[in-house]
Chains A and B, each alone.
Chain A
Amino acid sequence: MAERRLTNVIRALRFHAGEMTQAELGERIGVTRQTVAAIEQGKYSPTLETAFKIADVFEVRLDAVFQWSEPGAKKAEPESGSL
């Protein structure tokens, strides 16, 4: 049975936040640009603390950034009301 996986819409949130770069986001949450890239690509699941920091930067709820997706589910878009 395929497992659920953590997905996120950080890339879209960055785009809506004045095309914030990965380096800028990384600097604000205390990780490297490469780690932000790895989170966006689903190659690294951040700690809960970092996940909350990301949500804080974009001023949205945690579940507007990260989703616990079904296998094969379409990638979520950020909610318009949360931007």
Chain B
Amino acid sequence: MAFREKTAWLELVTMLVAYGVYFGIVGPAAGFGEERMLDIVWSFGPVAAAHAIAVIVGAIFIAVTARKEAEARADERDRAIARRGATIGYYMLIAGMIVVGGIMPFSEPPWMIVNAALFAIVLAETVNNAVILISYRRGWHG
């Protein structure tokens, strides 16, 4: 498996676990900040920090175990696949932001808008990594 494919797996899995925990357990327990907006910071913050640490530790482990590959620059296929993932993820993010910033303010309370924005970011990044993995697995003909 290519080094960059492994890092995409790492990012996807850690993201699904971390934000699955937030949106499934921690968020509901804190009422997603419905009572106090600051609760969002205290519930989402530690999850985001744990996610960042998991990605950093995992990336170091992958880089150490595949040292030569990790030192190599991304080649044309890696760059083409990364572009494809980023492009599709970008459109997901734009769609999410239109909903969050253009539609929800007319009908939803602030805590809901903040959580929806966080969800849109997580979803866009998940799609980005999923597209990267599918492109590595099934092929890419740019």
Contacts and interface: CB of A to CB of B under 8 A. Distances in A.
A42 B5 CA distance: 18
Nearest to A49: B76
A35 interface: yes
A4 interface: no
A44 B140 contact: yes
A31 B139 contact: no
Interface residues of A, number: 15
Contact of B72 (A6, A32, A41): A32
Interface residues of B, number: 15
Contacts of B75: 30-32, 35
Nearest to A45: B141
B84 to A, nearest CB: 12
B77 interface: yes
Interface of B: 1-3, 5, 69, 72, 75-78, 138-142
Interface of A: 6, 30-32, 34-35, 38, 41-47, 50
Which 3 A/B pairs are nearest by Cβ-Cβ distance?
A43-B139, A31-B75, A34-B2
